[in-house]
Each structure stands twice: as structure tokens, then as C-alpha cells.
Homo-oligomer: A and B are copies of this chain.
Amino acid sequence: MIDKLIAKIKATDAPIVVGLDPMLGYIPNYIKEAAFKEYGETLEGAAEAVWQYNKGLVDAICDLVPAVKPQVAMYEQFGIPGLVAFDKTVKYCKEKGLLVIGDVKRGDIGSTSAAYATGHIGKVTIGANTFEPFNEDFITVNPYLGTDGIKPFVDVCKENDRGLFILVKTSNPSSGEFQDRLIDGRPLYEYVGEKVAEWGADCMSGDYSNIGAVVGATYPEQGKILRKIMPKTFILVPGYGAQGGKGSDLAHFFNEDGLGAIINSSRGIIAAYKQEAYAKFGETGYADAARQAVLDMKADINGAIKH
């Protein structure tokens, strides 16, 4: 699966993933009004607004980027109707040729991780039939439970040609509270990084492994170290833009082949029309604003990584 992501990154010349994290506050009023008119001010109404908003965004950016990353929490907050919108969004993005990274951050004991893997990137057999329930291409996974909580996800990736991005060093301000704790003089995230490399070693797909890592753009020095600890691991880098990470911080997340990382931006793209720089697009131009923000992000990042 990582070979498909790399091929798409090369084809679009954009190591960029757009986070589809639809807060109600980001959605233009005209979309919400139309959805509420049809479904009322209900969970179904909110979910319809989310779906229409996403559809506009996906149509506007699908030729520019290799992948999208819907954050499932933003859909789960609207209960079942929200998850139906998540499911529709995943399917629509795949129809449009985008790879889908489900940002689900699941992780549990073995049998439970196996069930999550089945639901998100695997197949479930019911009698004589087989289904792929959510059918994402990649998902994010939490490593706190160790190898036996991760292995069922890795196994499903092997069976079904899918991929993972495992949390190593997260982008948030307090990520260091546990992740930076020193063990024999080295931070925990380095040990987690070593394990990610180990878990991925027999999951290669070309030059990179299907088992990737998450390292926040907000921690460029740690990214530099982790890049070396995990040379064949693709790194999903959140935290660019709204969270504070800049293009110039990102060079060290990439290998010398110009690959090895994909940078996520969510708010900075999908709610670009709310920024002064893109205000001219107006509410009804939210999708065009997102398109321009992707182009600007691409220039920023390629400027920083291509010397």
C-alpha cells in the first residue's frame, strides 16, 4: 500500500495529506442551512452538512493531493449519523482516486485490536459472505499496549495490502509528558520508533514499509532523530499550519530520496476561507479557498525540501 501512496505523491508532486476534520464551526452557513432545512437541527442534519462540506472539498482538491485523512472523532461526535457521513466520505474519496488514511488512533489488547483492524482495514466473514466494513487504506494506531496490541493490525496489513501510521511522537504541547521520559538516557519515543521499525521490517512494499509512524511537525529536532532510527518508515507529520509547524521545520522528516514523509494540514486547508489570506473567496468559495491553500502549502513544503 505504501508503494501506492508514493506513486501518488510523485504523480501530484505533493507530499501532502488533507485532514478532513469537519467541525460545525468550519462549515459555511449556506451548507448548514440547506442541511437543517432538509433534516432539521438534528444529528442527521449535522451529518448531512458535514457530508456536503466534505464533498465540495474533495471535488476541489482531489487532483492536487495523494490522500486525505478524515479524523473519525469529528464524525463520532455526531453519533451514528456522523459515522454514516464518515463512511460516505471514505467511499467518495476512494471513488475520486484519493487514498484514505483513517485517523482513528485505535489500539487495545490482541483480540480487540484484531476486531478494530477487521472493521477499518480488513475483511469480516459473515456466513458465506465477506465484507470490508470501513475499508480505509491506512489507519493510525496507538502503541501504548505494546507488540501484542499492534501485531493484529500488522497481520491485517499483510493479508489485505493496507498500511498503518503508529503514534511515536505526537504534535500536541504535552506530548513530552510521557513520550519524552528518559529511559537509560534516551526518550521513550525513540524506543517506540525502534519498535515501529521492527514491526515494519517484514512488511516492506518497495523501499518503504507499510508500517509507518506519526511524528509531529512541531518537534523538528525529534523528527531528525527519528528519521535516522526508522530509515524505511514513512512518517505521517501532523501539526503543520494551524498547530504551528512551518515548511522550514519539515526538511529533516524526509530522506535523501525526497520521500519518507507526508505532511498533514486540516484546519489550514478546509477552513482556509476563514483566514484573512483567503477571505476574498468568501463563504461560497470555501472549496476554491481550500484548493488555493493546498497550492500554497505545496509551494512552501517543496521549497523547503527541494534544495
- Give the interface of A toward B (CB within 8 A): 21, 23-24, 36, 40-43, 45-46, 71, 73-74, 76-80, 82-84, 87, 105-113, 115-116, 118-120, 124, 126-129, 131, 133-134, 142-149, 167, 170-179, 181-184, 188, 191-192, 195, 238, 243
Pair B172/A148 contact, Cβ less than 8 Å: yes
Pair A77/B133 contact, Cβ less than 8 Å: yes
In the bound complex, residues from chain B placing their C-beta under 8 Å from that of A144 are 142-144, 167, 170, 178-179
In the bound complex, residues from chain B placing their C-beta under 8 Å from that of A79 are 87, 119, 131, 133-134
The verdict on A119 contacting B77 (CB below 8 Å), with A45-B126, A144-B142, A178-B192 known, is: yes
CA distance in complex: A113, B21 (Å): 13
Supply 25 A–B pairs (Cβ within 8 Å), ascending by A: A23-B115, A41-B126, A41-B129, A42-B129, A71-B112, A71-B115, A73-B113, A74-B112, A76-B120, A78-B119, A78-B124, A105-B107, A105-B108, A109-B171, A109-B238, A142-B142, A142-B144, A144-B144, A144-B167, A144-B170, A146-B172, A146-B178, A149-B170, A177-B195, A183-B183
Pair A77/B116 contact, Cβ less than 8 Å: yes
The verdict on A145 contacting B174 (CB below 8 Å), with A133-B79, A183-B183, A191-B181 known, is: yes
Pair A43/B77 contact, Cβ less than 8 Å: no
* Minimum distance in angstroms from A69 CB to a CB of chain B: 12
CA distance in complex: A82, B116 (Å): 12
- Residue of B106, B127, B145 near A36 (CB, 8 A) is B127
In the bound complex, residues from chain B placing their C-beta under 8 Å from that of A148 are 172-174
* Minimum distance in angstroms from A12 CB to a CB of chain B: 26
Given A23-B115, A46-B124, A79-B131, 8 further pairs, Cβ under 8 A? A43-B124, A45-B127, A73-B119, A105-B107, A143-B144, A145-B170, A146-B174, A148-B173
CA distance in complex: A119, B171 (Å): 23
- Residue of B36, B149, B182 near A174 (CB, 8 A) is B149
Pair A76/B116 contact, Cβ less than 8 Å: yes
In the bound complex, residues from chain B placing their C-beta under 8 Å from that of A178 are 143-144, 146, 188, 191-192
Pair B106/A73 contact, Cβ less than 8 Å: yes
Pair B147/A109 contact, Cβ less than 8 Å: no
The verdict on A188 contacting B192 (CB below 8 Å), with A77-B118, A87-B80, A106-B73 known, is: no
In the bound complex, residues from chain B placing their C-beta under 8 Å from that of A112 are 21, 71, 73-74
Pair A43/B131 contact, Cβ less than 8 Å: yes
With both beta carbons as reference points, the residue of chain B lying nearest to A150 in the complex is identified as: B174
With both beta carbons as reference points, the residue of chain B lying nearest to A112 in the complex is identified as: B73
Pair A170/B109 contact, Cβ less than 8 Å: yes
In the bound complex, residues from chain B placing their C-beta under 8 Å from that of A84 are 80
In the bound complex, residues from chain B placing their C-beta under 8 Å from that of A77 are 115-116, 118-119, 124, 133
In the bound complex, residues from chain B placing their C-beta under 8 Å from that of A173 are 148
CA distance in complex: A112, B243 (Å): 13
CA distance in complex: A220, B173 (Å): 34
